[in-house]
Amino acid sequence: MKEVFQFQSSRKYISGAKTGSTSIIQVIALGFCFIFFFQYNAMAQTSHYGIAGSSENHNKLWYLEPASDWMEALPIGNGKIGAMVFGGVEQEKLQLNEESVWAGPPIPENRVGAYKSIEKARALIFQGDYAEANKLVQDDVMGPRIAPRSYQPLGDLLLNFKLQGAPSNYRRELDINDALAKTSFTAEGVNYSREYFSSAIDDAIVVVLTADKRNSISLELEMKRKADFEVANIGNNRLKMWGQASQKGKHLGVKYETQVMVLPKGGDIKSENGTISINNANSVVLFISAATDYNAGDPFSPLTQNLSTVCATKLKKAAKKSLKKLKEDHIADYQNYFNRVALDLGGIRGGERPTNERLEAVANGADDPGLMALYFQYGRYLLISSSRPGSLPANLQGIWNDHLAAPWNSDYHTNINMQMNYWPAEVANLSECHEPFFDFIERLVPAGKKTAEEVYNSDGIVVHHTTDVWHWTSPIGKVQYGMWPMGGAWCTRHFMEHYKFNGDTEFLKERAYPIMRESAKFLLDWLTKDPRSGMLVSGPSTSPENKFYTPKDPEVFANLDMGNAMDQEIIWDNFTNVLEAAEILKIEGEFVERVKEALAQLSLPKIGSDGRLMEWSQEFGEVDKGHRHLSHLYGLYPGNQFTENKTPYYIDAINRSIEHRLSNGGGHTGWSRAWIINFYARLGNSEKAYENIKALLAKSTAKNLFDYHPPFQIDGNFGGTAGIAEMLMQSHETDASGTTIINLLPALPSEWPTGSVSGLKARGGFEVDIVWNNGALESVSILSKEDKACKLQIGDSIMGVEVSAGNKQAITEFK
């Protein structure tokens, strides 16, 4: 890629000349640069499969070779069913997923009466016996980690084609403008096209196979799975595969079925021995449906529906539509979400190069603002495709997983990962995609109340570091990750955020306030007075997945402390949100007064002797100085406890904490790097935020733009999307009267000098469009559903704006 960098350097050098006239040498040099650039682009589009045609590549991932492995395949999904499309020529593989195919019970159980040992552990910690407290909690409080108990693939659909000759002009793409994947190539003078989409309207995956010469399509279809499946033919044009998910030989998981219907035009079709063969067709349309017996309302009472009937009904309904209507309905439904936000970050036309080459160039130091804009929109595409109203929430891999025993079970880790999945939901104008998160957290309430009572002898609800579709909430595994009863409280902030972005008072009253209240009830009972300070602290608990050296024996490490920074910040957040909601809803009484009193007595994080924000209550020796979690910075992002305006004394300490982690190898996982982007955006450090976007792309992004933990975790995609939005607009602060302050271009890097974004959502119920030129704000347009005031912050200046309901107000002059 050296040639591209030389061209870019030459271009910058020439355009950077400020004085003197343009010399003949400069003109000639510029001419050679452009000639070379276009020649290079032409060569870059050449592979052993041929030359890609020139087409509009805006918001497209595209490649000149088939996927060689799963992390190169392209994802499609409708919130419930998805596929990874490999784009093979002789054999096409669609690796299928259905959101509720999970291995099943047994599930973790509460250690009843554990609160007695928790009280003893508190006393041990307060007297400095950290190792003893660790052991006591591990032995008496933690339940066993039952694994694997994983989210699982639905199976594979294999299309084995009968082709003659080597392919040329190969291209595969994912067009996120309309949620269509496509593969095209030429063989023996025939131009083949294969199109794929997962329709939410028709609850089916559709595959369209065409050729520009008659009788050119011949193939055999088969369905497979790594375990626990049977296959049978249904009539002359359907296959079904069914089974029950298992783990370690225990068939206690979800029962599933998937069917494929084959509709050829022309040619012959034969269905036998678990396969369907098609010979000499002009075109073929495939419909894929799926169903399970999973019951989200009560996972232990499976649905009694006939899965074959459910699948067949979906297929027949879809098949009644014309292909044109199917595609139009799918695109219209998808674009209802996707088209709300547009982003242009400027830069060269990087879209003329395959996506994998653009990634490689960034890894070698190139700047590609267009790729960053694509990454932002790809995150929105993934959320639309994995989390729709009525579906389960996106898990650690969204809905795309090919492992029977996935990393971390592909479950719902509530110590950052599940929450990060939904960081872009509101600001990126996908509020409906947030709904599965709310539904799921509410379904945890019965188990969360039981765990609070049995384990902690407390009121309210509690959720620990992870859970899954069986809705358990017990502390499990090692204390290093499992002794952390803050997951539920963190999740409740999403309910308040949804209200702040949308202004739905009914949602606040019926859903947000009740679950925040239940979480606060637990926290009120959980807090205890620290005899060293007289303030209220949480504990014993870990700072997610971290550890420290104990003062009594510097070679021994422990995980549990009293008053860890993250706990205190989450509790501050929950109490603050409860009180704000109570004020809006005009709720008073004993409970509200208890929250006010506890908030006033809550211990706040400390600043250490080295100027860093302290993660623990004391200045312990660090075991892992570059730990991937930066838990003690929760109050900066996603929280809003620490800001330059309210708490300037914390900002320097936070900066020092981030730099310390990074200098010791931190940010080495995709989601951690994404979190750092959001930190720097909140800090207004545009160049550091940009630097970490480049690092996310260069070090933690696969060829299909999936996030690498490693292995694949989708949270980094969503966190990165949120971070880019946060660099362009922030709205987490209000003035003394509660008026929203919309901070425009708070962390705009010099590498994005000119650009625009439209449709971002701000708290207060505003939609915002921004245009900038040469690094300066040019115009802003604001839309509100009701007459409402807001304030615009541009740098250090703030101006008030009155917005009329339903009228987009454009502003080009800034006082």
Encode pLDDT of 671-724 as tens digits: 999 999 999 999 999 999 999 999 999 999 999 999 998 899 999 999 999 999
Pairing mode, strands 217-224 and 729-734: unpaired
Rg (CA), the chain: 28
Position 87 pLDDT exceeds 50: yes
pLDDT number for residue 1: 31
pLDDT number for residue 169: 97
Among 57-61, 263-267, 637-641, name the one with the lowest average pLDDT.
57-61
Position 81 pLDDT exceeds 50: yes
Position 20 pLDDT exceeds 80: no
Position 569 pLDDT exceeds 70: yes
Distance CA 511, CA 445 (A): 12
Partners of residue 47 on adjacent β-strands:
50
128-152 per-position pLDDT tens digit = 999 999 999 999 999 999 988 899 9
- Tokens 């079970």: give the residue: 409
pLDDT number for residue 56: 76
Nearest to 732 by CA among 646, 799, 809, 673: 646
Token code pair at residue 535: 């303030």
Position 262 pLDDT exceeds 50: yes
pLDDT number for residue 13: 24
Distance CA 467, CA 463 (A): 8
Token code pair at residue 655: 């900066």
pLDDT number for residue 26: 42
Distance CA 125, CA 301 (A): 43
Cβ pair 282, 266 in contact under 8 A: yes
pLDDT number for residue 164: 86
Position 24 pLDDT exceeds 80: no
Token code pair at residue 450: 């039981």
Question: What pTM does this model have?
Answer: 0.93
Distance CA 395, CA 80 (A): 12
Q: Look over the chain and give the mean of its residue pLDDT values, rounded to a whole number.
A: 93
Cβ pair 419, 491 in contact under 8 A: yes
| CB contact set of 551 (below 8 Å; sequence gap of 6+) | 128, 130, 618, 620
Q: Could you give the C-alpha distances from 278 to 222, 273, 282, 662, in angstroms and in order?
A: 12, 14, 10, 57
Give the mean model confidence (pLDDT) for residues 215-219.
Answer: 98
Nearest to 394 by CA among 409, 377, 382, 405: 382
pLDDT classification of 348: cutoffs 50, 70, 90: low
pLDDT number for residue 355: 97
Distance CA 430, CA 338 (A): 8
pLDDT, greater one: 28 or 171: 171
**Amino acid identity for residue 495 in this structure:** F
Cis-peptide, bond into residue 746, ω within 30° of zero: no
Q: Could you give the C-alpha distances from 169 to 44, 192, 318, 475, in angstroms and in order?
A: 13, 10, 32, 55
pLDDT, greater one: 58 or 153: 153
Give the mean model confidence (pLDDT) for residues 57-81.
Answer: 97
Give the mean model confidence (pLDDT) for residues 659-674.
Answer: 94
What would you measure as the largest C-alpha separation in the chain, in angstroms? Answer: 86
Token code pair at residue 304: 């009694």
Position 54 pLDDT exceeds 70: no
pLDDT classification of 104: cutoffs 50, 70, 90: confident
Give the mean model confidence (pLDDT) for residues 274-283.
Answer: 98
pLDDT number for residue 347: 74
Using DSSP's 3-state secondary structure scheme, residue 255 falls into: strand
pLDDT number for residue 12: 26
574-592 per-position pLDDT tens digit = 999 999 999 999 999 999 9
pLDDT number for residue 402: 98
2-18 per-position pLDDT tens digit = 323 222 322 222 223 33
Distance CA 672, CA 679 (A): 11
Token code pair at residue 602: 């809550």
Q: By percentage, how much of the chain surpasses pLDDT 90?
A: 90
pLDDT number for residue 250: 87
Q: By percentage, how much of the chain surpasses pLDDT 70?
A: 93
747-804 per-position pLDDT tens digit = 999 999 999 999 999 999 999 999 999 999 999 999 999 999 999 999 999 999 999 9
| CB contact set of 146 (below 8 Å; sequence gap of 6+) | 106, 107, 108, 476
Q: Could you give the C-alpha distances from 261 to 80, 206, 238, 276, 422, in angstroms and in order?
A: 19, 10, 5, 10, 35
Token code pair at residue 287: 């419909």
pLDDT classification of 729: cutoffs 50, 70, 90: very high
Position 303 pLDDT exceeds 80: yes
Give the mean model confidence (pLDDT) for residues 55-63.
Answer: 87
pLDDT number for residue 57: 87
pLDDT classification of 271: cutoffs 50, 70, 90: very high
CB-CB neighbours of 122 under 10 Å: 20
